[in-house]
Amino acid sequence: MNLKEHRASRAMPERPEAAIGDKRPGFPVRLSPNAGVPSASKRSLGSNASDVFKPQPLKRAVQGLQKPLPAGVGLDSQTVRSRMVDKLAKQGVQDAAVLAAMGQVERHRFVDTALANQAYEDTSLPIGLGQTISKPNVVARMLELLREGKGEKLGRVLEIGTGCGYQAAVLSHLASEVYSIERLRGLHEKARENLRHFRLANVHLLFGDGMEGFAKGAPYAAIIAAAGGEAIPPAWIDQLAVGGRLVAPMQTASGQQALVVIDKTDEGIRQTVLEAVHFVPLKSGTN
Ligand code: SAH
């Protein structure tokens, strides 16, 4: 159920059938001190549901906009990104090229203005159409895995799930060419708009079903997916170069999603299952 549906159902009277026949209160109406507080039955929807009603992040974002940040720490400043990079390094990200790329790309340009103040926090954020931009920590971890053992820049890279285009922008600093596919037209267009500012000549945005990969750009030195399915689509393995690596979320035997690394070698395919993750589902077709 999305946020709008929650709000609509909260606006409904408790007993809609009683609202018509009931006596209307006289004036002045005495408001109970608990007016506006969700009733116990509403609160008993569960902790997640009651969290949805709290307009916390928006409130914080608006407060942030009202109080301008001190000089030198505005979102355009390198300082906020350096702080994010320091945190990533403390969390265990070691690849200097990944840290440098993350320090370069202005993440706040990829989210709604109301959420921009949270852009450098280690959190995933909504980007529209029910999708999310991954946490900086997850982006860095996946890019580090993608580059593991490769000293210099990657060659051609295929990204499945462009979303808002943030990860494609980071990748553009780590690869010679980036082919990024998105199945939702609205997001494909949003990413195009977001990326215009950066003028990244080596990022190619494609609209289509990424489960089929993009054969014209194959073979790829690396493939990275930002959406997880029940299995790795065979097209991705076919389009991966020998010596190449694929990093993607995938549903494992336990039903949980985990990060999977696939190496394509002369001897065949090697698959490694890593930590649990929470990505949006990989879906077929376009919309
Ligand atoms: N890397 C993105 C994360 C976006 S979330 C960013 O930085 O913003 C994952 C995206 O994968 C969603 O936009 C979703 O629509 C997309 N997706 C899911 N299945 C897909 C498929 N088969 N082909 C292409 N994109 C897909």
- Catalytic positions, please? 134
Q: Are 223 and 160 in contact (CB under 8 A)?
A: yes
Strands 131-133 and 125-128: antiparallel
User: Integer distance in angstroms from the first to the last C-alpha of the chain?
Assistant: 20
**Alpha helices, H only, the chain:** 3-11, 16-21, 40-43, 47-53, 56-66, 78-90, 96-104, 136-147, 166-171, 185-196, 234-239
Contact partners, residue 155, CB within 8 Å, separation at least 6: 175, 176, 177, 220, 221, 222, 241
Could you tell me what percent of the chain has a pLDDT over 90?
Answer: 70
Ligand 1 atom 14 nearest Cα: 161
162 CA to centre of ligand 1 in angstroms: 5
pLDDT above 80 (res 277): yes
For ligand 1, which residues put their CB under 6 angstroms from it?
127, 131-134, 160-161, 163-164, 166-167, 181-184, 187, 209-211, 226-227, 280, 282-284
Tens of pLDDT, residues 208-234? 999 999 999 999 999 999 999 999 999
Strands 154-160 and 220-225: parallel
Coil, helix or strand for 19? helix
7 CA to centre of ligand 1 in angstroms: 27
CA dihedral 225, 229, 232, 236 (to 10 degrees): -40
pLDDT at residue 76, rounded to an integer: 73
Ligand 1 atom 16 nearest Cα: 161
Tens of pLDDT, residues 179-218? 999 999 999 999 999 999 999 999 999 999 999 999 999 9
208 CA to centre of ligand 1 in angstroms: 11
Mutating to test ligand 1, I would choose from 160, 172, 209, 277 the residue with most ligand atoms within 8 A of its C-beta, which is: 160
pLDDT above 80 (res 68): no
Tens of pLDDT, residues 7-36? 333 333 333 333 333 333 333 434 434 333
**For the chain, what are the domain ranges?**
34-54+124-276
pLDDT above 70 (res 69): no
163 CA to centre of ligand 1 in angstroms: 5
Coil, helix or strand for 34? coil
Average pLDDT over residues 240-265: 96
Nearest atom (ligand 1) to Cα of 167: 7
Say which range, 113-117, 176-180, 245-249, has the weakest mean pLDDT: 113-117
Ligand 1 atom 4 nearest Cα: 163
Residue 149: exposure state from Cβ atoms within 10 A (0-12, 13-18, ≥19): exposed
53 CA to centre of ligand 1 in angstroms: 27
Q: Are 180 and 245 in contact (CB under 8 A)?
A: no
Of 267, 265, 210, whose CA–CA distance to 235 is shortest? 210
Average pLDDT over residues 158-165: 98
What is the pTM for the complete model shown?
0.77
Name the fold adopted by 34-54+124-276: Rossmann fold (3.40.50)
Residue 104: exposure state from Cβ atoms within 10 A (0-12, 13-18, ≥19): middle
Only one residue has tokens 């020998």, namely 242
Strand partners, 182: 207
Structure-token pair, residue 210: 């990424």
Structure-token pair, residue 46: 């569960």
